[in-house]
Structure 1
Amino acid sequence: MSSHRPLGLPVSAAAAVLLLAVTGCSASDAEVSVPVPSPPAAEAAVCRALAKELPGTVAGLARTATEPESELTAAWGDAAIVLRCGVPRPEKMSDPQAQGVDANGVNWLYEPRAGDGPRFTTTYRKAYVEVTLDQRYAHDVGPLVDFAEPVKKAVPPSL
């Protein structure tokens, strides 16, 4: 399966179901070190609203504490999935050849990372939400499905 799609194409439901079936891992009790973004006040408020909506599990992985503790960051598993809200707009968003996916109505910029899993950043939202996935998710975007409702509820579309 390819996760390289032009911005706006839907994620295959079958791929998401397959991913959820094969990622039933448990979280460790260790804290995960996650750099905290420094967004403007209005974006930080949006991110605090998102923090209240985030699920306890993503792709079968339990939420893990982050260090430093912040409402702008979250992690699941042993940092297999890391979310940061209020990140700067990625330069890659200006690239007309940029790839993206739509996961249940939320558009994400797709950026592969050498030697690791992909990074996704929301597009067309009042705050940029970044999700990084480790190597286990190098070819899967299913975890984004678990973020769709919280993002739609807490992070308004940009006009």
Structure 2
Amino acid sequence: MSVHHRRRLGPVRGRGVVASAAALLLLPALAACSPGTIEIEDHDLSDADRAACEAVVDDLPKTLGGELRRPVDPEGALGAAWGDPAYVLTCGVPAPSDYEATAECSDIKGVGWYVTDDQASDLGVDVTPIALSRSPYVELVVPSRYRTDGIDQALAELAPVLKEHLADGLSCL
């Protein structure tokens, strides 16, 4: 019998209605800002993993968590960014050094995302979920600003692309 633990990465829904309404009022002001490019770190990958990551990046959505995609550096990097502060996705990252086979993951639309306990418990810090159930591994840096109203939505929006282009990775509890 398999038991799946689901650990929420943000607070319980319902409290975000006022915050969502306030965010909608701020959209025109935020749209006027022109954020710079985001640097994506390149990792040493096999040709097959590089090709899988390129397919993921080519198929990523124009918006994530309601935020528009923005330029990354270098052009053609194995990653993407959305919003300001930016959600930053990087494909082909190494497994986290603190991961253990008994670690819990949050299964969101069939993708197991691992988050360190210290990040999961403190909504005031940026969080970096890593999709360990897919290979090569993908991480998404989520600014603390989006922890209350965007993280679960963003991870759910990424799931179809990751499942389509990446192989099975580690199993999550």
| Same fold by TM-score greater than 0.5 | yes
For residue 69 of structure 1, what is the amino acid of its counterpart? Answer: E
Note if contact 1:11-1:103 (Cα within 8 Å) is conserved in structure 2. no
RMSD of aligned alpha carbons = 3.1
Contact 1:109 1:123 in 2 (8 A): yes
- 1:9-158 aligned at under 5 Å gives the runs 9=6, 15=13, 22=20, 25=27, 28-94=34-100, 96=102, 98-111=103-116, 112=119, 116-139=125-148, 140-158=151-169
- Higher-Rg member (1/2): 2
Distance of aligned partners of 1:95 and 1:158 in 2 relative to their CA distance in 1, 3 Å threshold: closer
C-alpha separation between the residues in 1 aligned to 2:99 and 2:13?
A: 25
- Contact persistence 2:127–2:141 (CA under 8 A): yes
Counterpart-to-counterpart distance in 1, 2:66 and 2:81: 13
- RCO higher in 1 or 2 (8 Å CA, sep ≥ 6)? 1
- Alpha-carbon offset, residue 100 of structure 1: 2.0
Q: CA deviation at 1:54?
A: 0.5
Q: Which residue identity does 2:145 align to in structure 1?
A: R
- Change in 2 beyond 3 A, CA 1:34/1:138: same
Using the alignment, how far apart are the partners of 2:166 and 2:139 within structure 1?
A: 12
Equivalent-residue separation in structure 2 for 1:7 and 1:83 (angstroms): 25
Q: Once the 2 structures are TM-superposed, how far is the Cα of residue 94 of structure 1 from its aligned partner? A: 1.7
SS at match of 1:142: helix
AA aligned opposite 1:117: D
What's the % identity of the aligned pairs? Answer: 29
Give per-residue Cα distances to partners, 1:2-41, cap 9 Å, x unaligned.
Answer: xxxx9752769x749x59x836555635211222222222
1:82-104 superposed Cα distances (whole Å, 9 cap, x missing partner): 000001111222263x3421111
Q: Distance in 2 between matches of 1:149 and 1:57?
A: 14
Q: Please tell me the residue identity of whatever aligns with 2:160.
A: E
TM-score (normalizing by structure 2): 0.72
